[in-house]
């Protein structure tokens, strides 16, 4: 989780990066930043603060980011800790010039690399794995920027999509497994854009060109893009299927699919595998909307807006006792009584992780008069934590890791629950190739070096 963006070949680079980060705000809300390189002064300017994009940037701050190349980052911490010291972009000066880096993913050998670098005398200013990459570049004994970047990236294990600027030259790379997404777009005026999702291209008016391929390394100077030596292949690419299940925006195009198309297919297959005798279908907004529409279409049960999400809720420290343990759910959602009263309801959600939110939603639905509640999940049971860049808790906190389907049904206090099968989910997107399903199957393809060695793994996002 996290979103990255880069713009090259236009004097409006920072402003366009700002727009792209707006479209990627769903990928993280803790902090954001932009670095722009001003070739006239030979300086890399940075704005980086905690909070939302709309809270951080103003016309005055964007005016302080001149230049024709910029990189930006939206942060969501899975580990490594919050705080401004762990926000990105990272900006340093080293022997080849001003370097800025943004990264989405988790390096599964970050702890091992960090320990080695510290023993060699490296000084770290943060706890994020992204800083490991910067040190590897700066301490490489190879000659030239591209050889140093190649040296650094070749030592990484796990999931990474990275954007690096050295002076006014931009570099982009994606790990050989292709876990995290990264797309390329072309601006009407001739510039180039890279971003975590295609929805960021849309807001900038850029035309989608293609995905950055797994293991691909690119150099971009102005509007000229060149493929450099690719990273050694690790096996068949394994893009993260959970991006399609939950994380990416429905209007995003990933790996040949629009996310909405994939989620509707999940919902239709879910209706075939897990039918329910009910009066209406509702979604847990917003990530499950498409799956719920697919379920309604395939089942013939009408879709209704039974839950309304408050999109303007920020963090709160107030939890009044009269609101009870469901306060956080009630803060975010409200049930539509006129839709739900007396009805047998199928609730479609994208996934079930801890189960606490779903349990609270059931209380809301019953309080609104729902006669029966049947929960359906448009993905398989989440039984294993993710080490490749999606925020999932430890296995002990995953409800499906230690409870049976019947026990989860009783915990949620519903008439029935049903999951989409792993085979059914993959069959819905089989045209896109193979996917990483480690959170469902426990099949971790990239080596978990830090976990195997018992080291504490730090994560940038």
Q: Could you read off the pLDDT of 111-145 as tens digits, one per residue?
A: 999 999 999 998 898 888 999 999 999 999 999 99
- Average of per-residue pLDDT across 187-209: 96
- Average of per-residue pLDDT across 217-228: 97
Q: Please, which pLDDT band fits residue 455 given cuts at 50, 70 and 90?
A: very low
Assess whether pLDDT exceeds 70 at residue 28. Answer: yes
pLDDT at position 458, please?
38
pLDDT at position 413, please?
97
Q: Computed from CA positions of residues 263, 264, 265, 269, in that sequence, does the dihedral angle turn out positive or negative?
A: positive
pLDDT at position 60, please?
96
- pLDDT tens track for 358-382: 999 999 999 999 999 999 999 999 9
pTM, two decimal places: 0.92
* Cβ pair 428, 266 in contact under 8 A: yes
Q: Please, which pLDDT band fits residue 330 given cuts at 50, 70 and 90?
A: confident
* Cβ pair 395, 438 in contact under 8 A: no
Q: Please, which pLDDT band fits residue 456 given cuts at 50, 70 and 90?
A: very low
pLDDT at position 457, please?
38
Assess whether pLDDT exceeds 60 at residue 238. Answer: yes
- Average of per-residue pLDDT across 165-183: 97
Residue with tokens 């049976």: 404
- Average of per-residue pLDDT across 61-65: 96
Question: CA 323, CA 455: separation in Å to the nearest integer?
Answer: 41
Catalytic residue list contains 240: no
Question: CA 49, CA 271: separation in Å to the nearest integer?
Answer: 44
Which residues 6+ apart lie within 8 Å of 20 measured at CB? 5, 7, 72, 193, 195, 200, 201, 203, 204
Q: Please, which pLDDT band fits residue 324 given cuts at 50, 70 and 90?
A: low
pLDDT at position 460, please?
42
Q: Please, which pLDDT band fits residue 84 given cuts at 50, 70 and 90?
A: confident
Assess whether pLDDT exceeds 60 at residue 320. Answer: no
Assess whether pLDDT exceeds 50 at residue 109. Answer: yes
Catalytic hit among 2, 386, 428, 436: 2
Query: Strand runs (DSSP E) across 305-425, as ranges?
Result: 307-309, 333-335, 344-349, 372-377, 416-419
Q: Please, which pLDDT band fits residue 452 given cuts at 50, 70 and 90?
A: low
Assess whether pLDDT exceeds 80 at residue 325. Answer: no
> Roughly what angle, to the nearest 10 degrees, separates helices 130-138 and 145-153?
140
């Amino acid at each position: 989780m996290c979103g990255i963006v880069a713009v090259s070949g236009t004097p409006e680079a920072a402003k366009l990066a700002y727009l792209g980060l707006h479209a990627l705000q769903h990928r993280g809300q803790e902090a954001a930043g932009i670095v722009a390189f001003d070739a006239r002064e030979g300086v890399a300017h940075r704005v980086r603060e905690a909070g939302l994009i709309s809270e951080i940037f103003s016309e005055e701050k964007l005016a302080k980011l001149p230049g024709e190349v910029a990189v930006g980052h939206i942060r969501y911490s899975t580990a490594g800790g919050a705080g401004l010291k762990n926000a990105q972009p990272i900006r340093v000066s080293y022997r080849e010039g001003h370097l800025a880096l943004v990264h989405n993913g988790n390096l599964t050998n970050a702890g091992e690399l960090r320990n080695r670098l510290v023993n060699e005398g490296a000084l770290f200013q943060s706890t994020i794995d992204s800083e490991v990459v910067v040190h590897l570049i700066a301490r490489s004994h190879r000659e030239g920027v591209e050889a140093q970047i190649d040296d650094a990236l070749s030592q990484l294990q796990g999931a990474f999509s990275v954007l690096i600027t050295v002076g006014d030259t931009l570099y982009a790379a994606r790990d050989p497994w292709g876990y995290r997404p990264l797309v390329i777009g072309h601006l009407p005026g001739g510039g180039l854009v890279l971003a975590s999702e295609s929805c960021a291209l849309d807001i900038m008016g850029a035309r989608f060109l293609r995905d950055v391929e797994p293991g691909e390394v690119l150099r971009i100077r102005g509007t000229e893009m060149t493929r450099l030596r690719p990273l050694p292949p690790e096996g068949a690419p394994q893009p993260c299927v959970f991006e399609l299940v939950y994380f990416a925006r429905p209007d995003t195009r990933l790996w040949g699919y629009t996310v909405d198309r994939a989620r509707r297919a999940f919902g239709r297959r879910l209706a075939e595998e897990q039918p329910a005798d009910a009066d209406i279908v509702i979604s847990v907004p917003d990530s499950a909307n498409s799956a719920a529409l697919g379920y309604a279409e395939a089942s013939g049960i009408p879709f209704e807006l039974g839950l309304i999400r408050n999109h303007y809720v920020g963090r709160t420290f107030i939890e009044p006792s009269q609101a009870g343990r469901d306060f956080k759910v009630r803060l975010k959602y409200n049930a539509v009584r006129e839709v739900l009263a007396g009805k047998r309801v199928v609730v479609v959600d994208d996934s079930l992780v801890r189960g606490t939110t779903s349990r609270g939603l059931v209380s809301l639905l019953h309080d609104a008069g729902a006669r029966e509640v049947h929960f359906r999940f448009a993905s398989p049971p989440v039984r294993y934590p993710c080490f490749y860049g999606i925020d999932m808790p430890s296995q002990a906190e995953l409800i499906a890791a230690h409870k049976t389907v019947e026990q989860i049904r009783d915990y949620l206090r519903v008439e029935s629950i049903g999951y989409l099968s792993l085979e059914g989910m993959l069959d819905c997107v089989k045209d896109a190739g193979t996917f990483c399903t480690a959170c469902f199957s426990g099949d971790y393809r990239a080596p978990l070096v830090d976990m195997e060695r018992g080291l504490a793994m730090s994560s940038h996002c």
